[in-house]
Amino acid sequence: MTTQIITAKYGSMPVLFQTDAFINATAIAKQFGKKTENYLLYKGVVLVI
Protein backbone atom coordinates (compact mmCIF):
# COMPACT_ATOMS: atom_id res chain seq x y z
CA MET A 1 0.00 0.00 0.00
CA THR A 2 1.31 3.43 -0.93
CA THR A 3 1.04 6.26 1.57
CA GLN A 4 -0.43 9.44 0.13
CA ILE A 5 -0.01 12.98 1.41
CA ILE A 6 -3.20 14.96 2.01
CA THR A 7 -3.16 18.73 2.49
CA ALA A 8 -5.79 20.28 4.75
CA LYS A 9 -6.03 23.77 6.20
CA TYR A 10 -6.00 24.76 9.85
CA GLY A 11 -7.07 28.38 9.78
CA SER A 12 -4.97 29.76 6.95
CA MET A 13 -2.10 27.31 7.44
CA PRO A 14 -1.65 24.15 5.36
CA VAL A 15 -1.33 20.92 7.38
CA LEU A 16 0.02 17.76 5.76
CA PHE A 17 -1.52 14.42 6.71
CA GLN A 18 -0.60 10.95 5.51
CA THR A 19 -3.30 8.42 4.66
CA ASP A 20 -1.88 6.11 7.34
CA ALA A 21 -2.89 8.75 9.96
CA PHE A 22 0.55 10.22 10.63
CA ILE A 23 1.14 13.98 10.76
CA ASN A 24 4.36 15.95 10.94
CA ALA A 25 3.86 17.67 14.29
CA THR A 26 7.25 19.40 14.03
CA ALA A 27 6.25 21.12 10.78
CA ILE A 28 2.90 22.18 12.26
CA ALA A 29 4.53 23.56 15.42
CA LYS A 30 7.10 25.45 13.33
CA GLN A 31 4.29 27.29 11.50
CA PHE A 32 3.12 28.62 14.87
CA GLY A 33 6.60 29.49 16.11
CA LYS A 34 6.67 26.59 18.58
CA LYS A 35 9.24 23.87 19.26
CA THR A 36 8.53 20.19 19.93
CA GLU A 37 11.68 19.14 21.80
CA ASN A 38 10.00 18.94 25.21
CA TYR A 39 6.51 18.02 24.03
CA LEU A 40 6.25 14.77 25.97
CA LEU A 41 7.47 16.39 29.19
CA TYR A 42 4.14 18.19 29.67
CA LYS A 43 1.78 16.20 31.89
CA GLY A 44 -1.34 17.22 29.93
CA VAL A 45 0.12 15.90 26.67
CA VAL A 46 0.98 12.53 28.17
CA LEU A 47 -2.59 12.20 29.48
CA VAL A 48 -3.96 12.75 25.96
CA ILE A 49 -1.63 10.20 24.38
5-42 residue pLDDT tens: 888 887 887 887 777 777 777 887 887 888 888 776 77
pLDDT over 70 (residue 1): no
Contact 17, 9 (CB under 8 A): no
First to last CA, the chain: 26
Contacts of 32 (CB under 8 A, 6+ apart): 13
> Cα–Cα distance between 5 and 22 in angstroms, integer?
10
> Cα–Cα distance between 4 and 6 in angstroms, integer?
6
What is the value of pTM for the model shown?
0.47
